[in-house]
Amino acid sequence: MTVLGPDAVSGRKEKTDHPLRTKRAGFTERDHLYMKEALEEAQKALAHGDVPVGAVIVRKGRIIGRGHNRREADQDVTAHAEILALREAGAYDGGWRLEGAVLYVTLEPCPMCAAAIVQAKMAQVIYGVDDPRLGAAGSLLNLLQFPGFHHDVAIRSGLEAEACSNLLKDFFIEKR
């Protein structure tokens, strides 16, 4: 089965589907609320010149981790929004296993973040816009559902896509 949907940057339209991958599928009011929280996190990255990506981790209706890009601020290549949210969620939860948790993130996770998400055994990733250059949830490759890995993570994309895309586009226009 093929999933069709707009790509945030490249305009590429076609993707190979996976049973746990859907685009723009029935987002709830709560999904929109959590993505707006991730967008607020992304805004924080702008204050210190980082690419505006934000993430929140939710389990049982409660936000247990938040993060926004801090690579430039911390001079740390691993300071991606998802990694920082995973660290906070692990500290909150008292462990690294985040089974049943959902990550809301404004931009499709990169390979590093996708691998950490799989290792944390998260249930689902919901992201705003595709990243055709580094996306590891189906745009470039799909590590969240890679054959042979010990855990598959459900993927949904396109939530608050316009707001997520505009934030990134405005940042890069200003950088030029």
- Catalytic annotation, residues: 82
Q: Find residue 154's DSSP bridge partners.
A: 124
Token match 């993060």: residue? 67
- Alpha-carbon gap, residue 55 to 135, rounded angstroms: 15
Find the helix packing angle between 81-93 and 111-119, rounded to 10°.
20
DSSP character for 42?
H
Q: Which pair of structure tokens corresponds to residue 159?
A: 């939530």
